[in-house]
Amino acid sequence: MNCPTCNITANRFGKDRNGLQRFRCPLCKKTFLEAHERPLGDMRLPLDKAVSVIHHLVEGCSIRTTERITGVEKRTILSLLALVGERCEKLMEDRIKSLKVKEVACDEIWGYVGMKAKTRAQKGHADRQAGDAWCFIGMERYTKLILAWHLGNRNAYDTITFTDKLAYATQGNFQINTDGFGPYKDAVIYSLGMQQVDFAQIIKVYRSNPENEVRYSPAAYVTSNKIAVFGDPDLKRASTSHVERQNLTVRMTMRRMTRLTNAFSKKWTNLKWAYALQFAYYNFCRVHQTLRVTPAMESKLTDHIWSIQELISINTL
C-alpha cells in the first residue's frame, strides 16, 4: 500500500487488535490500516459478537439474558439494537414498495412502554411516550410478507399513518381485511381509495362480564360478522386469522412483548427498533414452515435466505 500523505510504498507494521494489517510510511513515519469495511460503523464490537447478539434477540432473549450469554455489556447491546433496527426499517422501506398483492390482512398488537396507561394516569406522568403502545401490522395472506407496520396509539391519526405506509408498499387492486376497529373505514378510503381496494371487516362478538371471569382470562368468543364495507370483497375468504397468528409470533420471539411477565420496554425508541428488527428478520431470514422459504423469497424480493450478518451489513454493501 502507498502512504496517503507521501504516496510512496509503505512497509508492513504489525496488526491491530482486530487483526487488520497496519502499514508505516518510511518517510513521514505515519501508520495506517489496510482498506476494510466497517459494517457496524464506529462500533468496536467484533462482527461475530454482533451476529451472536442479534441472533439471541430475535430468538426471544432479553437484553440481560443476551448480556449473560454473549458477554456483551447491555448498553452496547442497546446501541447495536438501535443501529441494526434503523437499518432494518430503511431496508423495509427500500425493498417493500409498490408490490402487487392479492389479499392483505391488518391487525393491531398491544404493548406498553414504561408502564400501562392506567398506571400512568394514576401517577400523573407527563411523558407522552409512556403507556400503551399499539403496533399496526399489514400482512399479505399468501406470501406471509409483512408489508407495513406502524408503532403508535390506537387512534384515527396513527391508523391513517399506517394505511399510508400500506399504500406505499402496494399497488393495484386487492382485498383488504381488518377487524371491527372504527377508524379503519376512513383511513383505508383516505390512503388507498375506494377504486383500489375491496374492503371487508370481520366484527367479532364476545361475551361481556361473565361471572367466573378472572383478571387475565380472555373474553369468551360468541360469533363474528363479516361486512363488505366497500368494493366487492369475497366474504367467504375474508379473514384476519393469519395476521393474528403473526401476533403470536411477535410475542414468542420478542422478549419485551411477552405477556404476564416483567418484560417490557423502558423507551419508545427501543421498542420501535425491536419491531423493525423483528419484521426484517421475519421477512428475509426466517424460513416459514408452510412456505418452506422466507416470505421475501415467496414475494420474489430476493433469491436466497439472508444470514443475520447480511441483515446487519445491508447498508454497507
Query: How many of the other CB atoms lie within 10 Å of CB of 62?
Result: 19
Q: Residues 275-314: pLDDT tens digits?
A: 999 999 999 999 999 999 999 999 999 999 999 999 998 8
Q: Which amino acid is at 80?
A: L
In 3D, which of 132, 138, 143 has the Cα closest to residue 159?
Answer: 138
Beta bridge partners of 15: 21
Residue 64 CA to residue 77 CA, distance in Å, equals 9
Burial grade of 4 (CB within 10 A; 0-12, 13-18, 19 or more): exposed
Asked if the model's pLDDT at residue 316 lies above 70, the reply is no
| 89-103, 165-179, 209-223, 288-302: least confidently modelled range | 209-223
Q: Which amino acid is at 191?
A: S
Query: How many of the other CB atoms lie within 10 Å of CB of 207?
Result: 10
Helix/strand/coil percent split, the chain, to 5: 35, 25, 40
Predicted model pTM: 0.86
Query: How many angstroms separate the Cα of 97 from the Cα of each of 94, 194, 316, 317?
Result: 7, 20, 21, 20
* pLDDT-above-90 percentage for the chain: 69
Q: Considering the chain, what is the average pLDDT of its residues?
A: 91
Question: Cell digits for 10?
Answer: 509503505
